[in-house]
């Protein structure tokens, strides 16, 4: 049976180019205090949270964020019996989120001098010549028609965006940016800037880096990006932060969000699992609410080279503790947010346009594909060629300096699709999320399945069959969905 290997988020490798309401109360049965723990408390769908709030108070809990629109409370408590004591009328489900964070895998960062970089300059951007990904999606032709409109706002749910980066400083909607760490919003600029990870800065550059004669070109430089920080300083994405992010986007006029992350340490979040179901419910409610407010959410397929349409056995989760074996998984187990209804799921390709060796896939799961980089195909996996990654904006969290650099993963393909969607909604305003998703697919260029067993990296240290994958389907297939996103087709 296939073993599910966990590779969180997407930055498998990187190279940076340096330039210089709370409510407490009630009496719970006496008990020794436990650790301060976060919980999601859900009221029945469509019901008020007032009864749930009262039960939280009676169980010695503190509400730190209340999303009444979807009946979700984010709660903290030191009561070790909180889960059992809060249960009852007005509470549909409750789950501790302790241990449910997902760690970022940033990969190695190697700084080099900007003087070492070639400056091929077809778009007046010094580093555009190394952005092979942009020509692949016909970006120059698209920009001649429409480079995006400033009333389009894309939420980057990630690790923050550097507000001082020369390619991003003019691109950020600061009045719509926030930190959602802990499920609570903090709109101060310092709160939504990166602290320990530049992942969000890299993603933001792909979407909307300015065409200003400095650095790289973004796909939709005319639109605005908003930083919605959901990754904490330890590199974890907790469910309450993700819920907060979707709710913020819904209530602040965003048209799109990019989600290059997993919400849970389990590769697949099972709604038939007692502990995971409340998380699944809360996230689903938040996503549905955002969609009702005009937001299209785009998510990365993942980097486990896993067929999401044929889930069998997971032996590599959770990735933040001792892995357990979960056999005979069913369709009740989903990769969130990628497999949530209405979310556009994106796989990755390398410079040849073939599926990246690491990219997860799945017939009926993947909607479109986009460049994410493949640094191993040239050597069949023996070593990396960093320039076959995706070049974008970076921020060195040690030296606190801005720069440009390479990363690879479906974390990088996701923002390509998001950027093209931003161009599409700029050129064709008024599209609903569903219509925009459909348009993105229709404007993509179909890619055929490779014949037989596909593995571009048989010399990988992981073994000669470690990255075997088999594609299924026709014009719409498991590897590429409806095909490669195309910026020019999106604005015509």
Cα 312 to chain centroid, rounded: 24
Range list of H helices, 81-164:
82-86, 132-136, 139-143
Nearest to 211 by CA among 300, 123, 340: 123
Q: What is the pLDDT of residue 186?
A: 98
- Of 177, 411, 426, 443, the active-site residue reads 411
> Are 75 and 221 members of one domain?
no
Pairwise pLDDT comparison (166 vs 102), residue with the higher score: 166
Q: Is 411 a catalytic residue?
A: yes
Poorest-pLDDT segment among 139-148, 325-334, 459-468: 325-334
User: CATH no. for residue 78?
Assistant: 3.30.70
Which are the contacts of 485, defined by CB distance < 8 A and separation ≥ 6? 137, 368, 369, 370, 416, 417, 420, 440, 443, 444
Mean pLDDT of the chain: 88
Q: Is residue 31 a part of any domain in this protein?
A: no
* pLDDT one-digit tens code per residue, 20-61: 333 323 333 444 688 999 999 999 999 999 999 999 999 999
Whether 214 and 167 have beta carbons less than 8 Å apart is answered as: yes
In 294-440, beta strands by DSSP E:
296-300, 314-317, 324-326, 333-334, 344-349, 368-371, 390-396, 401-407
As given in the structure block, the two tokens for residue 176 are 């719509």
> Are 303 and 357 members of one domain?
yes
Q: Is residue 24 a part of any domain in this protein?
A: no
- Of 13, 133, 138, 158, the active-site residue reads 158
pLDDT band at 120 (very low <50, low <70, confident <90, very high): very low
Q: What is the pLDDT of residue 265?
A: 64
Identify the domain containing residue 67 by its residue range: 37-97
Q: Is residue 26 a part of any domain in this protein?
A: no
* Separation of alpha carbons 93 and 331, rounded Å: 21
> Are 141 and 92 members of one domain?
no
> Are 208 and 77 members of one domain?
no
> Are 57 and 141 members of one domain?
no
Is residue 161 scored above 60 in pLDDT? yes
Taking residues 430-454, what's their average pLDDT?
Answer: 98
Poorest-pLDDT segment among 68-72, 117-121, 241-245, 412-416: 117-121
* Separation of alpha carbons 69 and 36, rounded Å: 26
DSSP per position, 281-296:
HHHHHHHHHHHHTTPE
User: CATH no. for residue 369?
Assistant: 3.40.50.200
* Separation of alpha carbons 5 and 317, rounded Å: 8
Whether 410 and 210 have beta carbons less than 8 Å apart is answered as: no
> Are 174 and 84 members of one domain?
no
- Of 138, 143, 165, 199, the active-site residue reads 199
């Amino acid at each position: 049976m296939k073993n599910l290997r966990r590779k969180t988020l997407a930055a498998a490798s990187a190279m940076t180019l340096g330039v210089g309401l709370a409510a407490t109360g009630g009496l719970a049965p006496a008990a020794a205090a436990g650790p301060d723990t976060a919980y999601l408390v859900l009221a029945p769908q469509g019901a008020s949270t007032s009864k749930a709030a009262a039960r939280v108070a009676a169980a010695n809990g503190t509400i730190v964020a209340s999303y009444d629109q979807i009946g979700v409370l984010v709660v903290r408590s030191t009561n070790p019996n909180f889960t059992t004591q809060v249960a009852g009328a007005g509470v549909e489900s409750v789950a501790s989120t302790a241990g449910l964070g997902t760690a970022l895998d940033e990969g190695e960062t190697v700084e080099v001098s900007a003087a070492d970089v070639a400056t091929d300059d077809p778009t007046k951007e010094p580093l555009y010549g190394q952005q092979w990904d942009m020509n692949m999606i016909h970006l120059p032709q698209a920009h001649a028609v429409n480079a995006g409109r400033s009333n389009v706002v894309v939420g980057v749910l990630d690790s923050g965006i550097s507000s001082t980066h020369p390619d991003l400083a003019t691109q950020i909607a600061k009045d719509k940016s926030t930190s959602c760490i802990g499920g609570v919003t903090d709109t101060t600029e310092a709160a939504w800037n990166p602290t320990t990870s530049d992942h969000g800065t890299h993603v933001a550059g792909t979407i909307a880096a300015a065409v200003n004669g400095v650095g790289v070109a973004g796909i939709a430089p005319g639109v605005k990006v908003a930083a919605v920080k959901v990754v904490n300083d330890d590199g974890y994405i907790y469910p309450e932060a993700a819920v907060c992010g979707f709710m913020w986007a819904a209530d602040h006029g965003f048209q799109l969000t990019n989600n290059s992350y997993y919400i849970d340490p389990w590769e697949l979040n099972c709604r038939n699992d007692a502990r995971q179901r409340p998380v699944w419910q809360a996230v689903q409610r938040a996503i549905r609410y955002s969609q009702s407010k005009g937001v299209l959410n785009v998510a990365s397929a993942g980097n486990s080279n896993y067929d999401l349409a044929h889930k069998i056995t997971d032996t590599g989760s959770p990735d933040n503790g001792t892995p357990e074996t979960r056999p005979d998984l069913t369709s009740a187990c989903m990769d969130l947010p990628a497999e949530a209804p209405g979310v556009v799921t994106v796989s990755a390709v390398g410079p040849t346009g073939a599926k990246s060796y690491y990219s997860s896939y799945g017939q009926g799961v993947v909607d479109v594909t986009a460049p994410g980089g493949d640094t191993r195909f040239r050597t069949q996996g023996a070593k990396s060629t960093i320039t076959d990654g995706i070049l974008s904006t970076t921020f060195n969290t040690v030296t606190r300096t801005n720069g440009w650099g390479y990363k690879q993963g479906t974390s990088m393909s996701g923002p390509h699709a998001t950027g093209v969607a931003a161009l599409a909604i700029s050129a064709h305003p008024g599209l609903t999320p569903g219509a925009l998703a459909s348009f993105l697919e229709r404007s993509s260029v179909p890619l055929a399945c490779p014949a037989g067993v596909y593995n571009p990296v048989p010399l990988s240290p992981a073994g000669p069959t470690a990255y075997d994958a088999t594609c299924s389907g026709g014009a719409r297939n498991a590897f590429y969905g409806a095909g490669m996103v195309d910026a020019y087709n999106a604005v015509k």
